Homo-oligomer: A and B are copies of this chain.
Amino acid sequence: MSTGLAFSYESRAQRVVFGAGTARTDLAAEIERLGCARVLVVAAHAERELAEELTSVLPVVATFLDVRQHVPLETATAARALAGTSGADSVLSIGGGSTTGTAKAIAMTTGLPIIAVPTTYAGSEATAVWGLTDAGRKSTGTDPAVLPRTVIYDPELTLSLPADLTVASGLNAMAHCVDSLWAPNANPMSSAMAVAGIRGLRQALPEVRRDGSNLDARAAALSAAYLAAVAFTTAGSGLHHKICHVLGGTYDLPHAPTHAVVLPYVAAFNVPSAPSAAALLADALGVPDPVSGLVELYASLGAPGSLRELGLSSDDLPEAARLVAEAAPASNPRPVGRDDAALILRHAWAGDRPGSDQLEAHR
């Protein structure tokens, strides 16, 4: 029989409420809709005031504020303990990816339903992927129990996101889209969402960079970030995410800026071997050459340009290359040996202009 187009795809049940002001107007009703009445709030210290304001009328039984990047196991243990002692019947996360990640760590072991109110473009709220860090190594996995049952997207909550975090978080969403085009379970559904997400982000991000108080642009970016996250969760982690997990989990690099630095280098590496993904990417970016298109978009946004400036030591590059080569998906459109990984990382560390010619020339 023919090989041809073949894939499997699983959609998961999730309710999304999107609109300016919805975190204030819809949260109580959505918690009630889930039949919940004892809410454990998870929010980072920096968002404590926002969380208090949004939850003042809700049946809150406890609040967990000790959110940390990449969800260290100790953080997860403490949050799970609080869920137990408080008798919570639901977890309400208000914040970015690390906050949602902490709520997921609770859901993993308790099965409590999560209501997520994102304040960034991280997208964790739309995926069944969890991540935990233990002894300097990040583990990730997929578990339907950690997928938030309800997500309330209120673009007003993103208005105060500073310009640098806006860009880094938006480009994290862009990485979800682009990496899903060649991820192990890429399929026509994930690619449809990725293309729409890329188009939305490349139009909205320059606007929100220019004027962070532009609510329409904020809404467009947030909705594109949702498309990005759903594309990612159905397609799985591609090479880009495997690299970022190594860099974030092992070397404690900041999550979103790392994604912003790495993506153009992964695109430069994969594009020559992935013609149909390259065509979708070029079309979504509205440019003839997708790698140049990404590089120019990233530069215009003032994205961080190198792993060096994020604090990675060049001494770590050989070990990182080994870990990346081990973690790279077997289905990547181009095989990733340790030399390939070293090449990608070296360019990304130095901040060289990413281009497929250059990556080829250095081989």
The answer for the CA separation of A1 and B20 in the assembled complex, in Å, is 7
Tell whether A16 is near chain B: CB-to-CB under 8 Å. Answer: yes
The answer for the CA separation of A156 and B8 in the assembled complex, in Å, is 17
Most chain B beta-carbon neighbours within 10 Å: one of A21, A192, A193: A192
Q: Which residues of B contact A249 (CB under 8 A)?
A: none
Q: Assess whether B13 is in contact with A11, with CB atoms less than 8 Å apart.
A: yes
- Which of B7, B12, B16, B216 makes the CB contact (< 8 A) with A13? B12
A67 to chain B, nearest CB (A): 27
Stretch at the interface among A52-60, A223-231, A261-269, A289-297: A223-231
Q: Which residues of B contact A2 (CB under 8 A)?
A: 20-21, 215-216
Q: Assess whether B230 is in contact with A189, with CB atoms less than 8 Å apart.
A: yes
Tell whether A141 is near chain B: CB-to-CB under 8 Å. Answer: no
Q: Assess whether A9 is in contact with B5, with CB atoms less than 8 Å apart.
A: no
Q: Which 10 A-B pairs have the closest CB atoms?
A: A6-B19, A192-B196, A1-B21, A5-B219, A9-B16, A2-B20, A13-B13, A188-B223, A8-B17, A10-B15
User: Could you jot down 7 A-B contacts, CB within 8 Å?
Assistant: A8-B17, A10-B15, A10-B16, A11-B12, A11-B14, A11-B16, A188-B227
Q: Which positions in A face B, CB cutoff 8 Å?
A: 1-22, 155-156, 187-189, 191-193, 195-197, 200, 215-216, 219-220, 223-224, 226-227, 230
